[in-house]
Structures are given as C-alpha cells and as structure tokens.
Amino acid sequence: MIVPLTHVLILAGIIFVMGLACAIAWRNNLIMILIGIEIMLNAAMLAFVGGGAHWRLVDGQVFSLVIMALTSSEVSLALSMVVYLHRRKKTVSADEFSEMKG
Amino acid sequence: MKLYLSLILLLPLLGGIINALAGRFLPRKGSELLACGVIWGAFAASIFASLEYHGAARIDLMGWLSAFDFQAPVSLYIDPLSLVMIVMITFVCALIHTYSIAYMAHEEDYVRYFALLNLFVFAMLTLVLAENLPLLYLGWEGVGFCSYGLIGFWYNDEENATAGRKAFIVTRIGDTAFGIAIVWMFMLLGTVSITELNNLGSTLPMATVTGIGILLLIGAMGKSAQMPLMVWLPDAMAGPTPVSALIHAATMVTAGVYLLARMFPLISPSTTAMAAIAVTGGVTAFYAATCAMAQRDLKRALAYSTISQIGYMMLGVGAGAITAATFHLLVHAFFKALLFLGAGCVIAAMHHEQDIFKMGGLRKRLPLTYWPFLAGGACLAGLPLTGGFFSKDSILAAVWLKGGALYGGLYLLGLVTALLTSIYTFRMIYMVFGGDDSARKHCDSAHACKVPGLMEWALVPLALLGLFGGLLNLPSYLGGGWLNGFFSALPGGKEAEASHSLELTLQAIAGVLALAGLAIAHMRYGKAHRQERIAAAEGDAPGFVTFFQKGWRFDDLYRFLFIRPYEALSGFLWHQVDEGLIDGSLDRLASFLGRSGEGLGAWTSGKVSVYIISFAAGAALVMAYTAWFLL
Amino acid sequence: MEQIFFYILAAVVLIATLLAITERHAVHAIVYLATSFFALAGIFYLLGAPLIAVFEVIIYAGAIMVLFLFVIMMLDMGQPEKARGPSLKQWWPALLLGAIILGSMFTLFATTIPETLAGWSYTDAREFSRVLFRKYGVAVEVISLQLLFALVGALYLGRRKLP
C-alpha cells in the first residue's frame, strides 16, 4: 500500500467530520443535510477501500460498492420526499415540518 | 383517719367525674345535689378527721410514680397546717356550691360548671394534703386547669377565653420555676417527700437554699398573683362570680402561700430568700391597694384587693410568721368569699351591671346583702375588733418584731397599704350601697332588682366567721391564741414574743389607720359628695387615675416587652420560615421539577434540526467515551 | 511517486469538501462536491480499486449529484443571491461536536496497526466480480431488490395527484 493505513483513515475521518459538520450546521436546510450525508458515506467508502487495500482483500471494495448502491436508492427516495414536502409547504426548511412533536 | 382523708379526696373527685360523664342524663336538681352533696360530705369528713386528730401523721394510700430511686406514692400528710386548710376549704367550697345553684339557675351548661368546680376542689385538697412534691404539683396543675376552664366558662365570648388563657400562661411561668425546683431538690437530696426535704435541708449550702427558695417564690408568685406575675387575676374576673369567690379569693390563690409555708423549714435559713418573699409581698400589697382605689368595676376592685391581701400573707411568711400568715389566710378566705358572693348578689340584682358608679341605694333594696357585705368590708379594712383586724395586725407585728431596716421599711409600707385598704373598701361600699335610689332606673316592675334568697343566706355564715374569726388567734394580752398553740409544733409556728404594751401600741396604730381610712372615704364618697363623684366619673379620668386603673399599666409593659417581640418573632417564623422556607422550599422544589420536566419535554419539539444535533451529540459522546476508555 | 499523488488528491478532496459545506449557493456547493468526488475517485484508483473509482465517477458524481441538481433547480427556493448561510450560532455545535469526534478518532488511530506487505497492488475487474458474485451473490440480489423498492417509492412520492 502506498501510504500507511493510518493516513487513509485520518483522511476518511476528516472527511467524515466535515460531512457531519455540514449536516449539523445546515440543519435547517433539507438539501444540505442530504449533502452532508453523502459526504459522510463517501468517507465510509474511503475507509473500506483503504482497509481492503491494507489487508489485501477485495471485500473492502465490494462493500464500498454496496454502499454506493444503497446511497443511490436512498438519495432518490430522499429527494422525492423533499420534492413532495416542498409542494406542501413551499419551503425546504426542516423546522417547518414539526408535526411529529411530542 | 385514713378513711376520712380518703373520703375527703374521693368525694369531690367522684362528684366531678360523675357530673362530667353522666351529668347530662341526670335531672338538673340531681346533678346540682350531687355536686353540692359531695362537698358537704367532704366537709363532714374533715370535721371528723379534725376530731380524731392527734399529731402530725403521714398516711400512705397507694403507689403512683416509682422509677429506680424516685418514689412518689400517693401519700397524704396531716398536720395542723393542712388540717385547718382542709376544714376551711371544704366549708367555703360547700357554701359556694350551694350559692352557685341559685346563681347559675339560668345557665344551660351547668353540668360543665359543677364538674369543673368539683374537680377543682379535689385538686385543691390534693394540693393541701400532699406529702410529696409531685403529688402537690399534681394538685397545683389541677387547680390551674380548672381555673382556666372556669374563667373561660363562657368561652363563646372571645374576651373570656383570652382571660382564661392569660391566667393559664402566666401561672405556667410560675409552674415552670416550681418544677425546676422540684427536680433540683431531687437531684440534690434524692427525695421528693416534703417531710424528708424539710429535714435534710440543713445539709445544703446557703446559695443552693437561696436558689431553691427563689424558684419556689416564683412558683408562688404565679399561682398567688404576686408581682410581677399578677396580671392575670384582674382579668380572671371574666368568669362567673362564684368562681371568683372560690378560686380567686379563698383557695387557689392561697396555694402559693401554702407552698411557701410547707417548705418553710427548707428555705427559712436563707435570709435572702425570706427577704425576697417579704419584699414581694409588701410591694405587691401596696401596688394592688393603689390600683384598687381607681377601679370602677366592682369585681376588679375586689380582685386587686385579693392581690393586696395575699401580699400581706407573703409578707408574713417572709417575716417568718407562719401562724400569722395562716391566720390571715383563713380569715381572708372567709371575708373575701363573702365579699365576692355579695358582689355576685349585687351584680345579679343589677342585671349584670358591674360599674360601681352606676349603682346606688342598694342599702334599702337589698338589706340582707348589705349587712354581711358591710361586715366583710369592715374585716377587709381591719376595723378594730373584727377578725381582719387581728389577723392583719399579727402580720404587721411579726414584721415589726423581725427588726432591721428592710423589715422596718416593709412595716411602714404595710401601714400605708392598710390605710389605702380601708379607703378603697369604704369607697366601694359607699358607691354601691350608699346614696339614694339612683338605681331606680335599672329596676322597675319588669325586671325587679331582687336576689334569690339562697344566695343571700349563704352570706350570713361567712359574715359571722369573718367578724368573729379573731377568736381563732387572740393576741397574748387577751389570753393567747388558739392557733398559735395549735401551730406551735410547726417550724415558724411560734409567734415572736412581744410585750403587751408593744402589742397594744402596734394594734392601736393599725386601728387608727383603719378608722382614718373610713373617715377619708366618708368625706370623699359619703352622702353629699357621692353625687359629685358620680358626675366627675362621667367624663374621662385624668391621667394618673388611668395609670392606677390599668394596674400601673403592667399589661401594656408586658405587651411591649414580651408579647410584641414574641408576636413579631412568631409572625416572622410563620411567614418567613414556615411558609417561606419550609413550604416555599418544597414549592420551589416541586416547581423546579415541573419546569425541568417541561424543559426536558421541549426536547421533543418535532424539529429535525434538534434531532440532528441530539444524534450527533450522542455519537460524539459514544466516541469520546470509547476513546477515553481505550486510552 | 504515488504517495505525492495521494497527498495532492487528499488535499484537493479536503479543500473541495470544505468549500462545499461553507457555500451558500446550493448549486455551487454541489459542483464543489463533484470536484471532491473526482479527486476521491483518484484516491480509490491509487489504493488499488479502479472499479470503485470508475463507479464513483459514474454513479456518484455523475448520477447522484446530477439528481441533486435537478431537484434544486426544480424547486423554486427563492433568490440564491439572497440566500444566507448558517450563522455562527448554527456553526458552533457542528464545530464542537466535530472536534470531539475528530479528537476521539485520532486517539483511537494512535494504536499502531501492524504493517503488512508494502507495494502497490491492483484489483482488476475479473477478480472483483469473482468475489462480488460468488461470495456476495445474495447481497447483489438484495441490492437489486432494494433498488426496485427505491424506484417504486420515488415514483409514488413524486406523483402528481390527478385533478
């Protein structure tokens, strides 16, 4: 492996934290939350691939592919929900939809 | 002897209990008859006991308190002092019970009255006959309680209830001192039996004896309404008049004097304690006499008179003359009960008007009340040859013979008080009975001013006893006193010997003063001047008269010194501590819990943003904990 | 040589992601993100996963980000010039929690990982698909089912009601 696994994991960690920060900071905007989730999932993929490369296994890459497939289905559903909600209240502010209160 | 003493105690007790429990079911006459009958029975038993008396004896009835080395059985002690006391108490109480039947004829709640009255007699007799201090204390407390119940008899009126409470609380101060003295004596000498205490008293150091003496004096002060604990007695006149006659003239208020006489061998070695007793008595006598001069209410005047006369008795005890003090106690019981019962007749006849400036002319309307009342007044003033004259003079003589500057001063104070006594007594008599029939406006055919015969006839025996009571203890130049001889075995019983001429001189001085008082009263309140006094009394009294009328404003002083800070403190404790601190802290705790619950509940706001942060925070927490754990 | 490429690409990823998350304009943010995904694909290739790198570009940057762009442009979200980014009040929990997690992660990474063979190896398609379809065959089936569900769900959620 070209770099120590620790470096790959550090990179993955920083990317993950950035995605988390995006999801928290933009917590009022549905779309930015989803983007933050995408970033986090990418970081996870990087960690898997790095681990697979370190231990010379293909399984890391397989799981990374699985994540990608799941992500795509999740994004399509999430975005269609965003469209639906926007049609209802003409806004993508997450705090508007608080009917689950209590 | 044992049988008679047991009967003396048991009869009133049974009467009280039966009346209390079953009095409602008995017919009225039956209940009254029971109440009076038991007291007459006790009187008969005391007569029999006195016939059978042959020396001081201790009679054990049954066991009572017993723990380790603390023994307080129900044992009675009969000696000359207690013997004369029980005869006097049962006789006067029996008369007053009989009088009460007529006085309370219109009262619905007579059962409670007679039950309390009987229980009172039981407690007083226990007090007098007790051989050990706890039993005496039992009687002491019993009379206090019955007095409270009877003063506040008409409790629906706020003032009466307050008067009862006041009496109870003020005497309680004295009772506390007495209780401390009992415990202290037990700690020092290991016994609470009176005879043993009196015998062992010489083993104690003088300072201790003085301390015990002062504590007992405070106890007596409370019960006998001496300064500074005398504020309850004038207010206690809120009770029915027979109660005033019984409790606050003849029996309960003399309990303090009796206690000091009983414990005399123990405390007499301490000259400080004796001086304190004498000073208390002398000053109180003077104080009460000045206050009685300014009273408008008939019963309050008699109350202050009682305080003054008991001051004389204390003065006698302080001078070491137990015989003189007891003599005065006996005669005072007779004539003071007489005066109160007479006042009751007058008040009943005047339809419960008690202001002497609104009475008059009763001499012709109520002759059967007038003559005994006059006799009682003469005894009180100490006109020569009445019983009161001899008894008061024996005390003054004992004080004079004690010698020294203090007792000399007290003697002079006693003389001044005697003059004042005479003045206020005849002021009372002139205002109530004198003058023409200005009471006419009260009495017409609709409500006639008459008195039931039973009430008036009860006055007669007391008048005779008062007038001729001097025979009990004639001075030595007339053949020596019977009481003196009877008491000679008691410590302090023997009177100081004085030459006949000295005795005659002292008696002459006292007699002259009494007659002078009569003359002054006649000049000021007799015939012509009476109307002027009534007219003058219509307006507001000048300042110094109000000062005396309010008892030298002691009530106001106590209110200022004690009651107001106490009320402020209790108000503070109520609002700030009880409501603010205790209730408030619980309220604040509860509201805090409520608010924190609401605050936590606000977490479920349904907003995604809150949930995102909560999720991230949870994840951060888990990761941090894992990192720390693995570190 | 490859190490330098790795670090350059890593820097590109980080900078692009940082710009993406702080950008007010949503479309700009997504473009930055696509850049970041490209660089990440390069990293995947360097780590011996060329297939995953290709998939990353095609699926992730090509399909998913485009889908985001479609949705953003479809929704009328007001003037993008007037859009306001999150204020400091919104940022500080993110920074705080991010710092905590980052710190914990670095602490955990501090435990040494035993080095295996050095050198660069490379997984070709044949080997990848062998493992995928033999060992993880059930996973493939499940994922395809899941994609079907997602399709149906997206269709349902996005339908317009008939008047």
> Tens digit of pLDDT for each residue in B254-293?
899 999 998 888 888 888 899 999 999 999 999 999 999 8
Distance from CA of C62 to the nearest CA of B (A): 28
Residue of C nearest to A77 (CA): C154
C71 and C1 in a common domain: yes
Query: Would the pLDDT of B438 be above 60?
Result: no
Using an 8 Å Cβ cutoff, are B187 and B204 in contact? Answer: no
CB pairs under 8 A between A and C: 214
Chain segment B336-361, per-residue pLDDT in tens: 998 998 888 888 887 777 887 777 77
- Residue spans of the domains in chain A: they are 5-89
Third-level CATH fold of A5-89: Helix Hairpins (1.10.287)
Chain segment B599-621, per-residue pLDDT in tens: 888 888 888 888 899 999 999 99
Q: How confident is the model over B583-609, as a mean pLDDT?
A: 89
Query: Would the pLDDT of A6 be above 90?
Result: no
Q: How confident is the model over B103-122, as a mean pLDDT?
A: 89
Q: How far apart, in Å, are the Cα atoms of B203 and each of B71, B199, B210?
A: 21, 9, 13
Rounded to two decimals, the pTM is 0.72
**What's residue A88's pLDDT?**
85
Chain segment A23-54, per-residue pLDDT in tens: 999 988 889 999 999 999 999 999 999 999 88
Distance from CA of B577 to the nearest CA of C (A): 44
- Residue spans of the domains in chain B: they are 270-541, 556-594+604-630
Residue with the larger pLDDT of the pair B469 and B305: B305
Rounded to 5 degrees, φ, ψ at B493 are -75, -35
Distance from CA of A75 to the nearest CA of B (A): 18
CB pairs under 8 A between A and B: 34
At residue B38 the predicted structure's pLDDT band, cuts being 50, 70 and 90, is very high
Put simply, the answer to whether C150 touches A53 (Cβ < 8 Å) is no
At residue C98 the predicted structure's pLDDT band, cuts being 50, 70 and 90, is very high
Put simply, the answer to whether A98 touches B606 (Cβ < 8 Å) is yes
CB pairs under 8 A between B and C: 34
Put simply, the answer to whether C98 touches A17 (Cβ < 8 Å) is yes
Q: How confident is the model over B476-504, as a mean pLDDT?
A: 70
Query: Would the pLDDT of B192 be above 90?
Result: no
Chains touching A by CB (3 or more pairs below 8 Å): B, C
How far apart (Å, rounded) are the C-alpha atoms in residues B277 and B407?
11
Residue with the larger pLDDT of the pair B630 and A26: A26
Residue of C nearest to B613 (CA): C93
Mean pLDDT of chain B: 86
CA A101 to chain centre: 26
Complex ipTM: 0.90
Structure tokens at B117: 């009255």
Rounded to 5 degrees, φ, ψ at B297 are -80, 130
At residue C19 the predicted structure's pLDDT band, cuts being 50, 70 and 90, is very high
Chain B contacts of C103, Cβ < 8 Å?
624, 627
Rounded to 5 degrees, φ, ψ at B629 are -70, -40
Chain A contacts of C97, Cβ < 8 Å?
20-21, 24
Q: What percent of chain B is predicted at pLDDT more than 90?
A: 27
Lowest mean pLDDT among B491-500, B511-520, C8-17: B491-500
Distance from CA of B574 to the nearest CA of C (A): 48
Distance from CA of A28 to the nearest CA of B (A): 6
Residue (of B617, C56, C28, B603) closest to A23 by Cα position: B617
Chain A contacts of B608, Cβ < 8 Å?
27, 30, 33, 94-95, 97-98
In which domain, by residue range, is C34 found?
Answer: 1-76
Q: Which residues pair with B77 in a beta bridge?
A: B58
Residue (of B222, B250, B228, B233) closest to B86 by Cα position: B250
Would C110 be classed as within a structural domain? Answer: no
Reported as type and span, the H/E element at residue B481 is none
> Which residue among A20, A30, A101 places its CB closest to the CB of B605?
A101
Q: How confident is the model over C145-155, as a mean pLDDT?
A: 93
Which of A76, A83, A87, A92 has the most C C-beta neighbours within 10 Å, making it the best mutation to test the interface with C? A76
Query: Would the pLDDT of B296 be above 90?
Result: no
Distance from CA of C53 to the nearest CA of A (A): 10
**What's residue B383's pLDDT?**
86
At residue C147 the predicted structure's pLDDT band, cuts being 50, 70 and 90, is very high
Chain C contacts of A7, Cβ < 8 Å?
6
Would C90 be classed as within a structural domain? Answer: no
Domains in chain C, number: 2
**What's residue B385's pLDDT?**
79
How far apart (Å, rounded) are the C-alpha atoms in residues B10 and B26?
20
